[in-house]
Chain A
Amino acid sequence: MNASFLLFTLLNTGFILLVSPFFMSLIKKVKAYVQGRKGPKLLQSYFDLRKLMQKEVVYSPNSSIIMRITPYLNLGALLLATLFVPVVFIPNAPAGIGNVIVFLYLLVIERFFTSLSGLDSGSAFGGMGSSRLMSLSAVIEPTMIIAFAALAYVLKTVNFHEMFAITAGSTIPESPTLSLISISLFIIIIVETGRIPVDNPATHLELTMINEAMILEQSGKNLALIELAHAIKQTILMAILINTLAPFGLATELTFTGIVISCFYFLVKASLLAGLIGLFESSIAKMRLFRLPGFYMMAFFFSALTILMEVFI
């Protein structure tokens, strides 16, 4: 491991960890504005996390070790995943870091353990959420693989670092197909972070819950870690979309000014994207659960077409 990569590990992970809760509040704020409310403070997510951190953890008497290790595993998997998506600068990473397939598996680890912990608590809600998530995953998983495969095919590499080294520096996307893939990536953000029309993050209604149902039994510090992991997942997926569609500003070498500029640009672009997500969520109604496979299928159709087009022409 070289020194620049060590610095990258600290800076990139630290930066994403630091800004992730901010985007959560920002989306809430945008949604509140659209609905004519004032909304929470922009730093509210940080206050919530601090409050949860100070609370004691309560476990259901039925729960096993799964419930206890899930928050740490989730956060661990996603912190590792932050290394795959450079936002401060593109380092000279050791082999394996940045691989798309490993990245997908890291996301799956998080999903797998969240659903296990949903079942583990022994409550009816948790099991329901897990069963919903697993059946929907069967449809969204191929979509994700196809979308990332399309990305890999267009940029001719399976490594995120190399991909973004190609796109970085240009103001418009390298290939017009990339802007098509971005639409699939946007849908993936919506689905993976459990937002409207797939799931409603703001309610605890039995009918709508997928993500919230599984973490209903989590409390205190553990809940804080899970929330943080969720926020990080959102930021990473946003970063992939940003680096694909609007890659300008990302530093390709380790310089102080480069890092500052990268961070600044990322903050601006991600805030815009968060605003867009908030607007998208406000403009659309929650879908009935049984209509969701149709929505996912549309995303799958879209990414598959993109890859077909790229292969044919």
Chain B
Amino acid sequence: MITSFLADQALLEDIVRILFVFVLITAAFILSTRNIASLLTVYAVQSFLLTLIAASLYLIEGSEKLLAMAALTLVSKVLLIPLFINVIGEKIKISRDLEFNYLEPTASLLVSMGLIMLSYVFLSGFFDEYVLGKLFFVGAVIGLSLTLMGMLVIFSRKKVMTKVIGYLTMENGVLLFGIFVADLPFVIEILIVIDLMILVLLTTILAIGLDSTKNEYHKRLQTLKIWSGREE
């Protein structure tokens, strides 16, 4: 029963299609959620959806690389990165990001609808959806729109923590685009993930002291117990 379920191509494609909608919904939540903890949960859910998409695509295509990519995403983006940001977030005691630049959530949702349409129009100039396969074409469109929505998050939210999550969303979009259109070597995927982790580490630590001088920065790191090194 399960094997016949897994072999059903049409059903798998339908599942991927539903997952696409949910991915965009998580992006919409990242645009409008004010609580940092729920933002992180939404990001973890989004990464988990990408894992599921990669896994279902593996069942459709049978390429081992997709399975490895799913595993990599699961470990790094569903577990490690949210955990890390959570720890930092608790230390610097930011629990909410209430302010918005230029665009209120309602307006940014409307803008992102426009972005989705725009990426559809833009990509249909490059790819022939019938040559590429409809599912793959839509995957590319969703990937590009997710990247743009991540950019919108960076643009419209105020706190650095949220901006980091916006950046991570952009990266998720690139990953989705990569899965469906560009065939990146697996080594590069791993490198991207490592870069991502270091970037998250640096930005979140730097974010604590962006507005301070060097001496004050040391003090802040010590009071927040992030780094206990001695001052020279």
Contact = CB atoms under 8 A, between A and B. Distances in A.
Contact of A180 (B18, B28, B105, B120): B18
Contacts of B28: 298, 301
B18 A298 contact: no
A308 B18 contact: no
A176 B106 contact: no
B103 to A, nearest CB: 12
B179 to A, nearest CB: 17
A180 to B, nearest CB: 6
B106 A297 contact: yes
A297 B17 contact: no
A309 interface: yes
B24 A305 contact: yes
Interface string B172-207: 000000000000000000000000000000000000
A183 to B, nearest CB: 9
Contact of B138 (A175, A176, A302, A313): A313
B61 to A, nearest CB: 17
Contacts of B29: 298
B118 interface: no
Interface in A133-153: none
A312 B138 contact: yes
A301 B138 contact: no
Contact of B113 (A176, A304, A313): A304
Contacts of A306: 21
Contacts of A301: 25, 28, 109, 112-113
Main secondary structure of the interface of B (DSSP, over half): helix
Interface residues of B, number: 24
Contacts, number: 52
B106 to A, nearest CB: 5
A61 interface: no
B158 interface: no
A154 to B, nearest CB: 12
A36 interface: no
B110 A297 contact: yes
A306 B17 CA distance: 10
A177 B135 CA distance: 15
Interface in A172-199: 175-177, 179-180
Contacts of A177: 17-18
Interface string B1-40: 0000000000000110110110011001100100000000
Closest 3 CB pairs of A and B: A176-B14, A297-B106, A297-B109
Interface of B: 14-15, 17-18, 20-21, 24-25, 28-29, 32, 104-106, 109-110, 112-113, 116, 120, 134-135, 138, 141
Interface of A: 175-177, 179-180, 293-294, 297-298, 300-302, 304-306, 308-309, 312-313
